[in-house]
Amino acid sequence: MTQRVSIVENILNANDRLAEENRTRIQSAGVFSINIMASPGAGKTSLIEQTLSRLNGKLRVATIDGDIATSIDADRAAAAGAQAAIQINTGGDCHLDAVMLHGALEQLDLTLFDLLIVENVGNLVCPASFKLGTHKSVLVASVPEGDDKPYKYPGMYRGVDALVINKIDLLPYVTFRMDYFERGVQVLNPGVSTFPLSCRTGEGLDAWVDWLTDNAK
């Protein structure tokens, strides 16, 4: 058991060192970067699409999209207006790590961009443990997932810099106690920047885009 713990610690330490290298590289190019995490179906890609459409002509954006297979997410980002969209297929891994991001960064001339959006693999457990080197971590929660997720996945909610609550247009039709959800969030991450919105109707998206734009200046 002790050996297994040591191996895990060594892996995470090595990942953190490379994450710092990634951060230095991104920072040196003058790019603001975010790591978007969520469970499958919460709306990461939809949020990226809506964000790109609103940033068109304002910021130069590159995306790096992680998934177990296919290039669907990168194709959607490119169609929505990303100046560059790179797909990382993890081959079964349930998260991106600093090594994977490092390889993707090799394919980008970061000086051509203002904003880098990294879309992590859909998972509420593993991505929380692996730093990538981005400036901010963003979690997308969605109303249909239920209001108990902060209580069930505290590691994910505790470590993010911003929280998007997607699909608020479904609140009249789904049992979701916003006050209960928000209490769980505040216990874990007091004062976290929170953006209730709907990618379908557009409600709340302006505040989210303004936050991104302000950080990218």
Q: DSSP class of residue 70?
A: -
- 87-126 pLDDT, tens digit per residue, is 999 988 899 999 999 999 999 999 999 999 999 999 999 9
Q: Is the pLDDT of residue 9 over 70?
A: no
Nearest to 88 by CA among 61, 75, 70, 109: 70
Nearest to 64 by CA among 23, 28, 106: 106
Q: In what order do the strands lie in the sheet with 32-38?
A: 84-89, 61-67, 115-119, 32-38, 136-142, 162-166, 193-196
Q: What pLDDT is attached to residue 92?
A: 86
What's the pTM value of the predicted model, to 2 decimals?
Answer: 0.94
For residues 207-214, give the mean pLDDT.
97
* Number of residues written out for the chain: 217
- 179-190 pLDDT, tens digit per residue, is 999 999 999 999
- 24-34 pLDDT, tens digit per residue, is 999 999 999 99
Residue 137's SS3 state is strand
What whole-number distance in Å separates Cα of residue 205 and Cα of residue 171? 17
For the chain, domains (ranges, CATH) are 2-216 (3.40.50.300)
What whole-number distance in Å separates Cα of residue 160 and Cα of residue 114? 21
- 154-186 pLDDT, tens digit per residue, is 999 999 999 999 999 999 999 999 999 999 999
Residue 84's SS3 state is strand
| Band (6; pLDDT cuts 50, 70, 90) | low
